[in-house]
Chains A and B, each alone.
Chain A
Amino acid sequence: GAVVSQHPSRVICKSGTSVKIECRSLDFQATTMFWYRQFPKQSLMLMATSNEGSKATYEQGVEKDKFLINHASLTLSTLTVTSAHPEDSSFYICSVAGGLAKNIQYFGAGTRLSVL
């Protein structure tokens, strides 16, 4: 399967600041990447679908101006949480899809965001 690197693994920031999370596909070209959010003891919730070279598609209820997604290359997508608040504290996970096994997703290790 694909190797997905997510960075940073953990970040603590002050309320009102912005945080950027990177997701890299290390060994194949990812035409599609996904961003999920997971609150404690809950399941993963899809936030947005990111396609290389085009605008991301956000799920209902996810603010696109708050969660900025950039997928400028086939190996890198970034999620920027703008003006973060304590309620944005969560586990953010990216995944990549593509290649021969188009309907299989390979996940990063996740980023734990804590907003003080």
Chain B
Amino acid sequence: DAKTTQPNSMESNEEEPVHLPCNHSTISGTDYIHWYRQLPSQGPEYVIHGLTSNVNNRMASLAIAEDRKSSTLILHRATLRDAAVYYCILSNFGNEKLTFGTGTRLTIIP
């Protein structure tokens, strides 16, 4: 499986945008970029995914570099409820397995 690299931790102020980076330099042409987050003592929650184009949904936006070797999850206005571990995962279409790395622990400062 192609690997991803994320910062171990990040902090952001409440009500400000948050940009969570992810590097995936060995991504293949059929790998989707997925983002999940895990709140304390909860199961992970799907956030967003994309292939080549930028994606928006009600939770976040996903900006994918033109060469697809990196991506950024954007939370437009962070709230305290966004404090979680965010996982960037590559998943090949047709292979439903997800391999979780260590993710980025996001702390929101009131």
A joins B in a complex: yes
| Residues of A that sit less than 8 Å from B by CB | 1, 4, 6, 32, 34, 36, 43-46, 49, 91, 93-95, 97, 102-110, 112
Given contacts A104-B49, A107-B45, A109-B43, contact A43 B98 (CB under 8 A): no
Q: Are A32 and B43 in contact (CB under 8 A)?
A: no
Q: Which residue of A lies closest to B39 (CB)?
A: A109
User: Chain B contact residues: over half helix, strand or loop, or mixed?
Assistant: loop
A46 touching B97, Cβ below 8 Å: yes
A103 touches B93 (CB 8 A): yes
0/1 per residue, B16-47, Cβ < 8 Å to A? 00000000000000001010101001111110
B61 within 8 Å of A (CB atoms): no
Q: Give the contacts of B67-110 with A (CB-CB under 8 A).
A: 87, 91, 93-103
Chain B residues within an 8 Å CB radius of A107: 43-45
Determine whether the beta carbon of A43 is less than 8 Å from that of B41: no
Taking a contact as CB atoms under 8 Å apart, the answer to whether A46 and B43 are in contact is no
Which single member of B42, B43, B95, B102 contacts A95 (CB below 8 Å)?
B43
Q: Is the CB of B103 within 8 A of A105?
A: no
**Smallest CB gap from A107: residue in B:** B43
Q: Which residues of A contact B99 (CB under 8 A)?
A: 46
